[in-house]
């Protein structure tokens, strides 16, 4: 059924391209085709030890497939790790399409075709069991993302994505080739790596290539441009779903193929391999810098993009630390980030759909106008800021515990302070867009957009109550890596250091809310219009001349302190590298003078060096 699924999705791509003029029909076709990965997911639920009723799994997918494709073979099989990441992608993908059905109007066929191709590519990446299949599907995915970026039409986004995408492809290809020459096989199952330097270089290259997609600093430069200049349903899927493929690849190569003992063979520091330690430090830096940069943005999409970069950094920290606790935390964070960031991007899209504005300082007061969008975004923001009334807290908590357990003295405070920084930009979104002075008299978002957002909020609530279920999902993945799952029940997660009991939190919160509600409802109140506001007694007639929305340059004192250090730092660094390369290239160009005698001198010099080297050696 896997091949048929690919075939049907390709067919759907052609159909939606043909249906370019009928966006609604195209959306319907795309949504039906997008259900295939979901059915594959439910059909494979058995390998995670989940038994689903048969009506949820109407199609039967084989668990592995070897297909001869002329010059090579496609090796596909489902693994617990692939299943977990398929869960994230396959559930958020149809909802992004559902949102798009009312959001995308012009050239809709191309949009759905590109979306389906990215999903097709990532489906293949998740199932790939050899390096070439992985690379093939990875490139399908990457190039279809480029097609979607081209639709946005922003030059900076296209150039940065293209350059970093090709860098990523080069690094991956080099890495795979080095592994091939080392082991003589592309099959993941047969790769038995040794502790040589070549393997280390190959692994580092692969991880760096994957980090481009995962938007780890300093390879994140493309992400803010692309996230802020493409259509929101696509960005929701890109930031929520596709960026996780980088971390899927890291888990696959670092723990699935190389293994913990191999990583540790290159030296350890307090039982954490240097390799992982470096990744964790980069992740912590990414988390902090991404957060600081997010606080400084005024464009809603840019803010969410940098917040994405920051939140993805936490996953890298978890993967770097590499204990069962940390890996569970990383997987949990990946799951949370998929849903809350998708909701936030979709909510930004819904706001844009109604108001046509992206700038936070130009929006305001939409909370009373679009209450359901606001509530969905509020839940997502609670998850983003790791407030313990959504599942966001459990993931961060696992990562903090893992870092403390491994005595990461300097990474842990950075993680924690990045978590506090998340409050800052979270409140900037809340205040700038949804609270404050109502400026737009708009309607609530269309029903399809609301359904998409609220279905994405659902997992955040479910995994708040049952964080143990994520630990259950992580258990088969950990056992593949030869690790023990963390001790847990559905409600309580226990570590060496402490425990987190969600039921206690929820019941206490419910009780406290109930009591304060009674205390609060005791006295009657009247609702006054927004104009009745204390402004040192200024009468309301003057309000049309005064903007009461204080959202532009909201964190100005903060920017004064951090701005000089962080603003455009990474881009400037890359520009310096670019200038150096240009300088060297220009110098090299001078060698080609077009004169025969110069070339003969070069040849002579070359031979002299060759002879000299031979003599000296």
Partner 1 sequence: MRNDDWKKVSRLVSKKSLWMVHFCTGCGAMEMPPVMTSRYDMERFGIAPMATPRQADVLLITGYLSIKTLKRVVQVYEQMRDPKYVIGFGSCTINGGMYWDSYNTIKDLSKYIPVDLYIAGCMPRPEAIMDAFLKLMEMIEKGEAIGWKKYHKYYDQYKRNQRMAFSYRLDEVQDIKEDDAK
Partner 2 sequence: MVDLIALGEQILLLAGMVTLGFAIGMFFNGFARKVTARIHNRIGPPIYQGYIDVFKLFAKKTNISHGWIFDLAALFSVAGITLAFLFLPVAGFTLLSTEGDIFLILYLLAIPALGFALGAGASGNPNAAVGIMRALILMLAYELPLVMVVVAMMIHYNTTSLATLVQMQSGMHWAIFVPVFFIGAIIVDMALQGMLMEKPFDIAIAPHEIASGPMVEFGGKHLGALMLYKMMAIVVETTLFVDLFLGGGVVLSVSQYGWIAYVVNFLVWFALITLVFFLALLINAVFPRFRIEQALKFYWKYDALAALLILIWVFAGVSI
The minimum distance between CB 527 and partner 1, in angstroms, equals: 14
**Contacted by 537, from partner 1, partner 2, none: CB < 5 to 8 Å by type:** partner 1
Which residues, numbered 63-92, are part of the site for partner 2 (CB under 8 A)? Answer: none
Q: For residue 49, count other CB atoms closer than 10 A to its CB.
A: 11
The minimum distance between CB 278 and partner 2, in angstroms, equals: 18
Return the HEC string of 108-129: HHHHHHHHHHHHHHHHHHHHEC
214, 171 contact by CB (below 8 A): no
**The binder of partner 1 chosen from 55, 522, 534, 614 (CB under 8 A):** 534
The residue ranges of DSSP E strands in 110-194, in sequence order, are none
Could you say whether residue 536 binds partner 1 (CB under 8 A)? Answer: yes
Element (H, E) at 464: helix 447-465
Nearer to partner 2, 57 or 326 (CB): 326
Candidates 131-139, 167-175, 545-553, 607-615; binding stretch for partner 2 (CB under 8 A)? 545-553
The minimum distance between CB 549 and partner 1, in angstroms, equals: 19
Which residues, numbered 430-459, are part of the site for partner 2 (CB under 8 A)? Answer: 430-431, 435-438
Closest CA to 70 of 14, 132, 128, 121: 132
The minimum distance between CB 165 and partner 1, in angstroms, equals: 55
Element (H, E) at 381: helix 371-384
Could you say whether residue 465 binds partner 2 (CB under 8 A)? Answer: no
Q: Which residues pair with residue 130 across a beta bridge?
A: 187
165, 222 contact by CB (below 8 A): yes
Could you say whether residue 537 binds partner 1 (CB under 8 A)? Answer: yes
DSSP 69: E
Q: CA–CA separation, 279 vs 336, rounded Å?
A: 21
**Contacted by 551, from partner 1, partner 2, none: CB < 5 to 8 Å by type:** partner 2
Candidates 195-203, 264-272, 528-536, 607-615; binding stretch for partner 1 (CB under 8 A)? 528-536
**Which residue is associated with the tokens 């979270």?**
426
**The binder of partner 2 chosen from 365, 459, 467, 468 (CB under 8 A):** 365
The minimum distance between CB 519 and partner 1, in angstroms, equals: 17
Q: Which residues pair with residue 67 across a beta bridge?
A: 74
Q: CA–CA separation, 285 vs 217, rounded Å?
A: 8
Q: Using alpha carbons, list the distances in angstroms from residue 296 to 29, 226, 304, 362, 565.
A: 41, 18, 11, 16, 12
Question: 493 by DSSP, 3-state: which?
Answer: strand
**Contacted by 420, from partner 1, partner 2, none: CB < 5 to 8 Å by type:** partner 2
Which residues, numbered 552-571, are part of the site for partner 2 (CB under 8 A)? Answer: 554-555, 557-558, 560-561
The minimum distance between CB 512 and partner 2, in angstroms, equals: 4
Question: 607 by DSSP, 3-state: which?
Answer: helix
Size (the chain), residues: 617
Which residues, numbered 539-578, are part of the site for partner 1 (CB under 8 A)? Answer: 539-540
Could you say whether residue 538 binds partner 1 (CB under 8 A)? Answer: yes
**Contacted by 53, from partner 2, partner 1, none: CB < 5 to 8 Å by type:** none
**The binder of partner 2 chosen from 197, 536, 595, 616 (CB under 8 A):** 536
**The binder of partner 2 chosen from 147, 173, 424, 570 (CB under 8 A):** 424
Q: CA–CA separation, 454 vs 451, rounded Å?
A: 5
Q: CA–CA separation, 553 vs 432, rounded Å?
A: 11
- Helix ranges restricted to H, 270-323: 274-296, 300-321
**Contacted by 538, from partner 1, partner 2, none: CB < 5 to 8 Å by type:** partner 1
**The binder of partner 1 chosen from 60, 441, 532, 544 (CB under 8 A):** 532
Could you say whether residue 281 binds partner 2 (CB under 8 A)? Answer: no
**The binder of partner 2 chosen from 67, 181, 520, 599 (CB under 8 A):** 520
Q: CA–CA separation, 90 vs 85, rounded Å?
A: 8
Interface residue list for partner 1 (CB under 8 A): 532, 534, 536-540
């Amino acid at each position: 059924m896997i091949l048929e699924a690919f075939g049907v999705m390709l067919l759907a791509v052609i159909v939606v391209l043909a249906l370019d003029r009928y966006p609604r029909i195209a959306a319907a076709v795309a949504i039906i085709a997008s259900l295939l990965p979901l059915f594959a997911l439910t059909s494979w639920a058995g390998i995670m030890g989940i038994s689903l009723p048969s009506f949820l799994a109407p199609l039967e997918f084989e668990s592995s497939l070897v297909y001869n494709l002329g010059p090579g073979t496609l090796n596909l099989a489902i693994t617990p790790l692939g299943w977990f990441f398929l869960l994230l992608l396959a559930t958020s993908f149809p909802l992004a399409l559902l949102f798009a059905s009312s959001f995308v109007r012009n050239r809709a066929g191309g949009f759905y075709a590109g979306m389906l191709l990215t999903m097709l590519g990532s489906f293949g990446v998740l199932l790939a069991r050899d390096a070439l299949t992985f690379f093939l599907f990875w490139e399908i995915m990457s190039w279809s993302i480029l097609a979607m970026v081209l639709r946005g039409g922003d030059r900076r986004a296209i150039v940065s994505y293209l350059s970093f995408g090709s860098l990523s492809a080069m690094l991956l290809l080099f890495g795979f080739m080095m592994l091939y020459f080392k082991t003589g096989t592309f099959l993941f199952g047969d790769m038995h790596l040794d502790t040589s330097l070549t393997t280390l270089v190959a692994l580092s290259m692969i991880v760096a290539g994957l980090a481009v997609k995962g938007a780890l600093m300093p390879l994140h430069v493309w992400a803010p441009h692309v996230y802020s200049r493409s259509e929101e349903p696509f960005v929701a899927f890109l930031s929520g779903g596709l960026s996780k493929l980088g971390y899927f690849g890291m888990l696959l190569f670092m723990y699935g193929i190389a293994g913990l003992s191999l990583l540790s063979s290159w030296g350890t520091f307090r039982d954490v391999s240097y390799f992982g330690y470096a990744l964790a430090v980069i992740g912590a830096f990414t988390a902090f810098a991404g957060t600081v940069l997010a606080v400084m943005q005024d464009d809603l999409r840019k803010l969410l993009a940098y917040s994405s970069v920051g939140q993805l950094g936490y996953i890298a920290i978890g993967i770097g630390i590499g204990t069962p606790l940390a890996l569970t935390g990383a997987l949990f964070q990946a799951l949370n980030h998929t849903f809350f960031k998708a909701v936030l991007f979709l909510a930004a899209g819904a706001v844009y759909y109604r108001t046509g504005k992206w700038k936070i300082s130009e929006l305001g007061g939409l909370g009373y106008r679009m209450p359901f969008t606001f509530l969905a975004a509020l839940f997502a923001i609670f998850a983003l800021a790791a407030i313990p009334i959504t599942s966001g807290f459990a993931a961060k908590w696992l990562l903090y515990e893992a870092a403390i357990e491994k005595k990461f003295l300097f990474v842990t405070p950075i993680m924690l302070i990045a978590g506090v920084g998340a409050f800052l930009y979270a409140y900037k979104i809340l205040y700038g867009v949804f609270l404050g002075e109502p400026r737009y008299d708009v309607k609530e978002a269309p029903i399809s957009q609301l359904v998409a957002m609220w279905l994405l909020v659902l997992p955040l609530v479910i995994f708040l109550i049952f964080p143990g279920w994520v630990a259950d999902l992580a258990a088969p993945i950990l056992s593949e890596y030869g690790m023990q799952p963390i001790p847990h029940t559905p409600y309580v997660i226990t570590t060496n250091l402490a425990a987190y009991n969600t039921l206690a939190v929820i019941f206490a919160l419910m009780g406290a809310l109930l009591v304060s509600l009674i205390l609060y409802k005791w006295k009657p109140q009247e609702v006054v219009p927004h104009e009745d506001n204390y402004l040192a007694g200024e009468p309301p007639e003057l309000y049309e001349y005064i903007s009461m929305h204080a959202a532009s340059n909201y964190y100005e004192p903060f920017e004064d302190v951090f701005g000089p250090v962080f603003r455009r730092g990474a881009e400037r660094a890359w520009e310096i590298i670019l200038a150096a390369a240009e300088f060297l290239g220009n110098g090299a160009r001078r060698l080609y003078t077009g004169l025969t005698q110069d070339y003969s001198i070069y040849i002579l010099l070359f031979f002299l060096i060759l002879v000299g080297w031979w003599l000296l050696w």
